[in-house]
Chain A
Amino acid sequence: MSVIEFHLEVRSGVPTYLQIVQQVRQAIRLGILRPGDQLPTVKDVVRSLTINPNTVLRAYRELDLEGLVEGRRGVGTFVADGAAPLPPDDVKELRSALERWVNRARAAGLDDDGIAALFSDTLRPASIARVA
């Protein structure tokens, strides 16, 4: 029984392997995944998401390169010791900043959809730039 279950957003425009990477990163940040936890096996992910095994391997490789996980031959892939969640204070601070920004956007006249569009538009080039 694995600690984390991946999900796939087919139409998001984000490559599958990247979605897995992001979900692992997020889980580590939020403390859902802790050092020493085993990630789902390639076979399990393939079965539950019906995706190509190479995609999972690529995601795990990427996470390995980032130092977030380490693969142990014949056993599986585990969250690395050094992988630290974001300090809860950092999270708290980021959350308040975000709330303030949202309020400013609302005051400027943006509705929820407008806010979301502005946010993802800004986020996208940033993500692509980061990966490329």
Chain B
Amino acid sequence: MSALSAQGLGKRFGSTWALRECTLDVPVGSVTALVGPNGAGKTTLLQLAMGLLRPTTGELRVLGLVPRDDVVAFLPRVAFVAQDHPLHRRFTVRDTLKLGQKLNPSWDDDLARARIEHLGLPLDRKIAKLSGGQQSQVALTLALAKRPELLLLDEPVASLDPLARREFLSTVLEVVSETGISVILSSHILADLERVCDHLVILSHARTLLVGAIDDILAEHRLVTGPRADAASVARGSDVIRERRTERQTSLLVRSNAHVYDARWEQHEVDLEEIVLAYLGADAAPVPERELDGAAA
């Protein structure tokens, strides 16, 4: 089963499309990164997945259910931590946990308290008095204590210092290793991706540019360099993501499977950050109208 399955999913606000023709499949148990520039549609996709928004077009199934159809059955199974981890600032930590308990039938209070204790946070402190890192950990506790099957994180670490960022991601990954929950997290910090995630979705201007397992993506993409004169013939055979030229040399970042190149052409492996930047960069090749979103994972 897939944790999330979208077919031609689209969302329009007024006359602007925040997301369109989004088709992707996120496997259960995976940690999927959602990357793209601001305004690419990451938050929209996550909010659609959570049922906070209703799709304009297309179909969306999360854990096999349509998010807004049966709210009571759906909500306990999916948790969401929004950008900047909004919590009720006048509440104390204790109040926040009580809110979780009152509003979630599947709430595990022992787990929540154990985590808060482990974090060393006093129960009677007001949320507003906690640091950014502590607030994000409380928001994460709130999400995890309802024992969800899917965790949606919207830029959870964007405003955190490096230490808090590490702590947060470590916690999430620990829970993944213990319970096998699926995680979809959006981020514009590329450095963490390769070590933390095993699947990737690249979004830009409301469209998906690339979807797949990170291992497959790394295996399929190569940097190919060679004499400029021959560039055209090489390019014709493969999916060129980015092309850069000097007077004598051309380097192409291509996506292909076992394409054999001329001996004069060098092949290099590329790391994930480079691949993402190639797709998102200003010099990215225009995307052909056919297969935009790539194969399902």
- On A, residues with C-beta under 8 Å from B are 8, 10, 13, 15-16, 42-43, 46-56
> B residues within 8 A CB of A49?
195
Whether a CB of chain A sits under 8 angstroms from the CB of B21 is: no
> Nearest Cβ in chain B — how far from A100, in angstroms?
33
| Identity of the chain A residue whose Cβ is nearest the Cβ of B268 in the assembled complex | A13
Residues of B within 8 A of A (CB): 31, 166, 169-170, 173-174, 176-178, 191-192, 194-198, 218, 269, 271
Q: What residues of B have a CB within 8 angstroms of the CB of A15 in the complex? A: 218
Contacts of A47 in B (CB 8 A): 170, 173-174
Partner of B173, one of A8, A13, A16, A46: A46
**B195 to A52, Cβ gap below 8 A?**
yes
**Bound state CA distance, A47 and B169, in angstroms?**
9
Q: Are A43 and B174 in contact (CB under 8 A)?
A: yes
Give Cα A52–Cα B175 distance, bound, in whole angstroms.
Answer: 11
- Report, nearest first, the 9 A-B pairs whose CB atoms are least far apart: A53-B177, A51-B195, A46-B173, A50-B170, A47-B170, A46-B177, A50-B169, A42-B177, A43-B177
Q: Is the CB of A43 within 8 A of B178?
A: yes
Cβ-defined contact, B173 with A53, below 8 A: yes
**Closest chain A residue to B167, Cβ basis:** A50
**B198 near A51 (CB under 8 angstroms)?**
no
- CB distance B198 to A50 under 8 Å? no
What is the bound-complex CA distance between A55 and B192, given in angstroms? 14
A50 touches B196 (CB 8 A): yes
User: Total A-B residue pairs with C-beta atoms closer than 8 Å?
Assistant: 46
Beyond contacts A10-B195, A46-B170: 8 other A-B pairs, Cβ-Cβ < 8 A, are: A10-B191, A42-B177, A43-B174, A43-B177, A43-B178, A50-B166, A50-B192, A55-B195
Q: Which residues of A contact B198 (CB under 8 A)?
A: 52, 54-55
21 contacts between A and B (CB under 8 A): A8-B195, A10-B195, A13-B269, A15-B218, A16-B194, A43-B177, A46-B173, A49-B195, A50-B166, A50-B169, A50-B195, A51-B173, A52-B173, A52-B195, A52-B198, A53-B176, A53-B177, A54-B198, A55-B195, A55-B198, A56-B177
Whole-angstrom distance between the Cβ of A78 and the nearest chain B Cβ: 18
Which secondary structure dominates chain A's binding surface? helix
Q: How far is the CB of B280 from chain A (nearest CB, A)?
A: 20
Nearest chain B residue, comparing its CB with the CB of A43: B177
Partner of A13, one of B174, B177, B271: B271
In the assembled complex, the CB of A126 is this many whole angstroms from the nearest CB of chain B, namely 15
B197 / chain A contacts, CB cutoff of 8 Å? 52
Neighbouring B residues of A54 by C-beta, 8 Å: 198
**Complex-state Cα separation, A8 to B192, whole angstroms:** 13
> Which residues of the other chain, B, contact A10 by a CB distance below 8 angstroms?
191, 195
Residues of B within 8 A of A46 (CB): 170, 173-174, 176-177
Question: Which residues from A are CB-within-8-Å of B192?
Answer: 50
Task: Give the chain A neighbours of B218 by CB distance below 8 A.
Answer: 15
Expressed in whole angstroms, the minimum distance between the Cβ of B83 and any Cβ of chain A is: 21
Give, as a whole number of angstroms, the nearest-CB distance from B268 to chain A: 10
Given A13-B269, A13-B271, does the pair A52, B174 have CB atoms closer than 8 Å?
A: no
Expressed in whole angstroms, the Cα–Cα distance for A53 and B176 within the complex equals 7
Q: List the A side residues contacting B176 at CB < 8 Å.
A: 46, 52-53
Instruction: Give the CA-CA distance A10 to B169 in the complex, in Å.
Output: 16
Residues of A within 8 A of B177 (CB): 42-43, 46, 53, 56
Q: In the complex, what residues of B have CB within 8 A of residue A52's CB? A: 31, 173, 176, 195-198
Q: Roughly how many angstroms separate A68 CA and B2 CA in the complex, as a whole number? A: 34
Q: Given A10-B195, A16-B194, A43-B178, A50–B271 Cβ distance below 8 Å?
A: no
Interface core residue of B31, B176, B177 (most chain A CB under 10 Å): B177
Shortest CB distance B198–A (Å): 5
| Chain A residues with CB under 8 A of B31 | 52
Give complex CA distance A37, B167 in Å.
28
Given the known A-B contacts A10-B195, A16-B195, A55-B195, are A50 and B269 also in contact in the complex, defined by CB atoms under 8 Å?
no
Cβ distance B2 to chain A, nearest Cβ, rounded Å: 17
